[in-house]
Structure 1
Amino acid sequence: MILQFVFLIAAGIVAGLLATIAGLASIASYPALLMVGIPPVVANVSNTVSLICTGLGAIPASLKELKGQWKRAFYYTILAVIGSLIGSSLLLIAPASTFEKVVPFFIFIAGFMLILSGRGTEIKAETQLKRDAEHPTRHRWIQVASFAGIIFVGGYLGYFGAAGGVVLLAILAIITRESFAKYNAVKNVMTFACNIAATALFIFKATIDWGAVLPLGIGLLIGGYCGPLIVRHVNIRILRMLIAIASFILAGYLFVKAYF
């Protein structure tokens, strides 16, 4: 029991670091819960509850960047929370076997998106979309599509969530005219609220392994705090590639486990 507690703290620290570096906390925390014998859906639910701890560390650290942005953050967060409630409800309605079979694809896509985010392709897309946004008609359509995208990503965060933060950053880069630090702070608020909304539903409708949530949450707090300090001293491009490769390996393992 003590070893499991320590293992989950360590997994939480890694997940907190991944959340800071790549927005991929669930790549580490979800498999760790599976490894200690927790069923897939219960593991996913417990993981979402634990991820609230990442927000508890990120929001206070983002207050400087959030100054003057609370109104915008509020509206975007409302859209994301609507999606989160839909996604978490879908998780509870769908059979557990369905969740097991779709998760490998989510993780594979998360790894693929991480590679793209390190190659500058999102910057090219952002530049083109911002150029299009100068045209009134195109601007309206981009805004509508972006708001729909926020709801969709919120739904994904409520259902599983790996790389959801990466997608939100891409959307916010298009619909805001702020620096990365500022819209990343808005993203922190949105993901935090999505996890809280999903947790509120899970408390009444799902099984939560609180014995796993506690050590994982402790680790997420530590990792979330230490992440920015570590990022300053490592090669992010190489680190992103290693994380992506690990994502592909994990996706392959879960695919084999679910289908064979």
Structure 2
Amino acid sequence: MSPVEMALVLLAGVGAGVINTIVGSGTLITFPTLVAFGVPPVTATMSNAVGLVPGNISGSFGYRRELAGQGFLVKRLLPASLLGSLVGAYLLLHLPEDAFIAVVPVLLVLALILVVVQPPLQKWLNARREASGAAAVTLDTMSAPRSAALLATVFLCGIYGGYFAAAQGILLMGILGLLVPLALQRMNALKNVLVLGVNVVSATTYVVVATWGGGAHELDWTAVGLVAVGSLIGGAVGAGIGRRLPPLLLRACILVLGLIALYTILGMR
């Protein structure tokens, strides 16, 4: 990479750290940036996953107050995220690159649809619950089917995150918003911990494979270092401004960046 490209990757890491902490989908910044500068798609995904871990740590730490009292949920959901991440990382390493390029646009479209429809869907569900006179669901009154659905969808989201990290935070917020009775900021704190777990597992897998895998898969360590430094800063910043950034503006930015990423991937075919 040239010095200019390195600076842009560093800035992309900062942006990804901020967005990942606040909502999710920071990979929609770093992934297309790495690909645009010549990093192969699978290598870009692996390098990006490793580089974003410091940002996940700083973002989760920044939301530690909102996480207080959620130990039960973390202990229940984190294993599902970790197991899903292992499955996703396995799929990334064993499916051919052509399959990766074919699948990622579908995942990106799904993530972007969720970005758009989540607010009206939440309003509709809340209005329907109020109209029916149903009592508010609490963690103590969650039904067995609801709990099972929560575990299953968190596991599937872990697979998605282990395979391609873009917008896994958005997916998790959609799932948690539908199934878990938590305030938005507390939900975001839980999301950050689950995403951290997914990225730590997938990143560890990629480092092991790149180091002892016989050269079949490689990491771009320059990209890893730049994204890591940027995301560490961005995660801390994102935790500080999370309550101030207008949600509509943030969703609009994610949508634009997602469309750019989709265009980039489609151009590889």
What TM bracket, shorter-length normalisation?
A: 0.7 to 0.9
Alignment of 1:221-240 (within 5 A): 221-230=232-241, 234-240=245-251
The equivalent residue for 2:222 is: 211
In 2, the alpha carbon distance for the partners of 1:142 and 1:133 equals 14
Q: Match for residue 37 of structure 2?
A: 36
Match of 2:192 in 1: 188
1:169 aligns with 2:180: no
CA distance in 2, matches of 1:123, 1:92: 40
Deviation at 1:234, TM superposition (A): 4.8
Instruction: Give 1:97 shift.
Output: 1.4
CA gap 1:139/1:48 in 2 versus in 1, 3 angstroms: same
Three-state SS of the structure 1 residue aligned to 2:38 is coil
SS at match of 2:232: helix
Secondary structure of 2:268's aligned partner: helix
* 1:144-168 superposed Cα distances (whole Å, 9 cap, x missing partner): 1221101000000000022211221
Does the 8 Å contact 1:126/1:173 carry over to 2? no
Contact 1:105 1:251 in 2 (8 A): no
1:181 Cα deviation after fit? 1.6
Report how far residue 127 of structure 1 moved.
6.4
SS in structure 2 at match of 1:208 = coil
1:110 aligns with 2:121: no
Q: CA deviation at 1:233?
A: 5.4
Counterpart residue identity of residue 31, structure 1: P
User: Which TM-score applies when normalising by structure 1?
Assistant: 0.88
Alpha carbons 2:150, 2:179 under 8 Å: kept: yes
The amino acid across from 2:254 in the alignment is: I
Query: SS state of the match for residue 71, structure 1?
Result: helix
Structure 1 residues 49 and 165: alpha-carbon distance in aligned structure 2, compared to 1, 3 A threshold: same
Map of 2:125 onto structure 1: 125
| 1: CA distance, partners of 2:81 / 2:126 | 21
Give the whole-Å Cα distance in 1 for the aligned partners of 2:81 and 2:74: 10
Q: CA deviation at 1:139?
A: 2.7
SS at match of 1:120: helix
- Measure how far apart 1:173 and its partner are: 2.8
Task: Write the letter of the residue equivalent to 2:53.
Answer: I
Q: How far is the alpha carbon of 1:87 from its aligned partner?
A: 0.6
Contact map agreement 1:49 1:196 (CA 8 A) in 2: yes
State the 1:246 CA deviation.
3.4
Partner of 1:71: 72
Q: Which residue of 2 aligns with 1:255?
A: 266
Deviation string 1:17-71 (CA, Å, 9 cap, x unpaired) is 3223431111001111112211110100011111101212112112212222123
Alignment-derived partner of residue 139 in structure 1? 143
Partners of 2:17 and 2:56 within 8 A in 1 = no
Paired residue total:
255
Cα contact 1:111–1:245 (8 A) shared by 2: no
- SS of the residue aligned with 1:162? coil
Which residue matches 2:5?
Answer: 4
How many angstroms does 1:111 deviate by? 1.9
CA 91–8 in structure 1, closer or farther in 2 if over 3 Å, else same? same
> Residues 129 and 82 (structure 1 numbering): CA distance in 2 closer, same or farther, change over 3 Å?
farther
CA distance in 1, matches of 2:145, 2:129: 11
In 1, Cα distance between the equivalents of 2:126 and 2:173?
11
- Compute the RMSD of aligned alpha carbons: 2.5
- Partners in 2 of 1:188 and 1:211 — Cα distance? 25
Q: 1:158 to 1:67 in 2, by over 3 A?
A: same
Of residues 143-152 and 170-179 in structure 1, the stretch that sits farther from structure 2 once superposed is: 170-179
Q: 1:148 to 1:128 in 2, by over 3 A?
A: farther
Structure 1 runs not aligned, ≥5 long = none
What is the SS of the residue equivalent to 1:257?
coil
Give the match for residue 214 of structure 2: none
The answer to whether the aligner puts 1:89 opposite 2:93 as a matched pair is no
The superposition leaves residues 112-151 of structure 1 with CA deviations (integer Å, 9 ceiling, x where unpaired) of 211113x4313433665895996xxx93222212211010
